[in-house]
Structure 1
Amino acid sequence: MQLTPRQGSILERVKQSQPITAEDLAAELKVSRATIRGDLAILTMSGYLEARPRVGYTYAGREQGGEALARLLELCVREVQSVPVVVKATSSLYDAIVATFVEDTNTLFVVDEAARLLGALSQSDLLRSSIGQVDLHRMPVSVIMTRSANLVTLQPDETILSATRKLRTHGLTSLPVTKVVQTAAGQHLEVTGVISLRTINALLAEVAEIR
């Protein structure tokens, strides 16, 4: 894991003045505590620092688990992505509900006959639709799906850290991994994988075992 200049400065100050609080670190760096909150979290998760309540931060070096976590955060999503569960835009809401249980997934991705990504729908979307006066066997998923233009997506070469930030920022449980396909008719997106909180939790569990 390559540290930023500010993260390097934080490590040097912790080595010199440990234990040191976040407030004192921010004062020495002449920035606000909020500015370095993310840096401190990354340095702690990566095994560089140890945080002690009511004491402050101390230098921990790079433990084996910290190195594993650093490598995890730098992994490209294509290396750990799961197979996406897709349904056709003409599929009924009933078929979509069945698919979520059979495939044990919270999110379905909607495609057309040419495999172009049209949108996505979640179990919550399906639940809300089933409560109303709707014929689940006749209404197509395209009616309730979130359109592709409004989806938050990942590129195959983005990192797990980037995926985690997007999931947290947008309050989502999964993100589609997409690629741009060029055809004579123009460009379109195809979904090639999915990264979910379940995927990330499983990876973190592996890192925890290393610790």
Structure 2
Amino acid sequence: MNFTQRQKQIVEIVKSKEPVSGDVIAEELGLAKSTLRSDLAVLTMTGVLDARPKVGYIYSGLEPQSLLFEQFNQYKVADVMIQPVIVYPDTMVNDAITSLFMYDVGSLYVADSTSKSLIGVVSRKDLLRSLIAGQAEKTAVAIVMTRMPNIIAVTPEMTVLKAAELISNHQIDSLPVISSDDQVIGKMSKTNIIDLLVELSSEEDA
């Protein structure tokens, strides 16, 4: 994969003005900051830029043709996805909360009891809201979950880079991985992506 012209422009701006904020980059290009979100995600996820809280973007010294970039772009979701935590529509919120903390995850995927296909996602926030309302013992997750088709999902064949763009664009922590028949077969998270970058970076430095 090659960088787009706009992504190359962003890199040059950061090189000349680092550390620089997303607002300044957007102003330099005459665009809204939200328009650049996916570009900045690509550049940071591949390690070309380093995003530092309260500081801004820093140029890492890596170029698109670097070994890290090329290796990262070759990985598929299937290579790094992890096991999902699945519940069913009739699972009580109380039980879902137990699963949430038992497996230390931020969201649970809701599958149809018969077909096992993905029908919803329930987040930590959804569950805790029901708990605070005192309805955890009598409310099923089907009542509080986000339903299809309002769920962003990925397939095993999709590149990790594309998954990273989706996570950044939609400001979410993870994505369900679904098969051709919509069954949940995995989970793709920010942590998966960061772990992969750390591993590739270590190999490049060795």
**TM-score strictly above 0.5:** yes
Say whether the 8 Å CA contact 1:20–1:57 is kept in structure 2.
no
Residue 129 of structure 1: aligned partner: 130
Residue 154 of structure 2: aligned partner: 154
**Equivalent residue of 2:183, what SS?**
strand
Q: Provide structure 2 residue ranges, at least 5 long, that are not aligned to the other structure.
A: 19-27, 51-57
1:172 CA displacement: 0.3
Residue 95 of structure 1: aligned partner: 95
The code of the aligned residue for 1:193 comes to G
Residue 27 of structure 1: aligned partner: none
How far apart are the structure 1 equivalents of 2:85 and 2:198? 24
User: Cα RMSD over matched residues?
Assistant: 3.6
Say whether the 8 Å CA contact 2:177–2:184 is kept in structure 1.
yes
Residue 197 of structure 1: aligned partner: 190
1:143 CA displacement: 0.5
1:190 CA displacement: 1.3
Query: Is 2:2 the partner of 1:3?
Result: yes
Structure 1 residues 70 and 43: CA distance shift in structure 2, 3 A:
farther
Structure 1 residues 115 and 70: CA distance shift in structure 2, 3 A:
same
Residue 54 of structure 2: aligned partner: none
Residue 168 of structure 1: aligned partner: 168
The code of the aligned residue for 1:200 comes to I
Percent sequence identity over aligned pairs: 29
1:46 CA displacement: 5.6
Map 1:1-211 to 2 at 5 A.
Answer: 2-3=1-2, 6=5, 32=29, 66-113=66-113, 114-134=115-135, 136-181=136-181, 189-209=182-202, 210-211=204-205
Residue 28 of structure 1: aligned partner: none
Structure 1 residues 39 and 103: CA distance shift in structure 2, 3 A:
closer
The code of the aligned residue for 2:188 comes to I
| Count of aligned pairs between the two proteins | 180
How far apart are the structure 1 equivalents of 2:138 and 2:41? 49
Structure 1 residues 180 and 5: CA distance shift in structure 2, 3 A:
closer
Shifted more, 110-119 versus 140-149: the winner is 110-119
Q: Provide structure 1 residue ranges, at least 5 long, that are not aligned to the other structure.
A: 23-30, 51-55, 182-188
The code of the aligned residue for 2:201 comes to A
TM-score, normalised via structure 2 length? 0.70
Larger fraction in strand: 1
Structure 1 residues 58 and 161: CA distance shift in structure 2, 3 A:
closer
How far apart are the structure 2 equivalents of 1:128 and 1:146? 14
Say whether the 8 Å CA contact 1:21–1:57 is kept in structure 2.
no
How far apart are the structure 1 equivalents of 2:100 and 2:47? 38
Say whether the 8 Å CA contact 2:45–2:193 is kept in structure 1.
no
How far apart are the structure 1 equivalents of 2:131 and 2:43? 46
How far apart are the structure 1 equivalents of 2:168 and 2:126? 20
How far apart are the structure 2 equivalents of 1:42 and 1:177? 20
How far apart are the structure 2 equivalents of 1:47 and 1:122? 29
How far apart are the structure 2 equivalents of 1:203 and 1:32? 31
How far apart are the structure 2 equivalents of 1:146 and 1:58? 38
Q: Deviations over 1:159-198 (max 9, x none)?
A: 11111111111110000111232xxxxxxx2111110111
TM-score, normalised via structure 1 length? 0.69
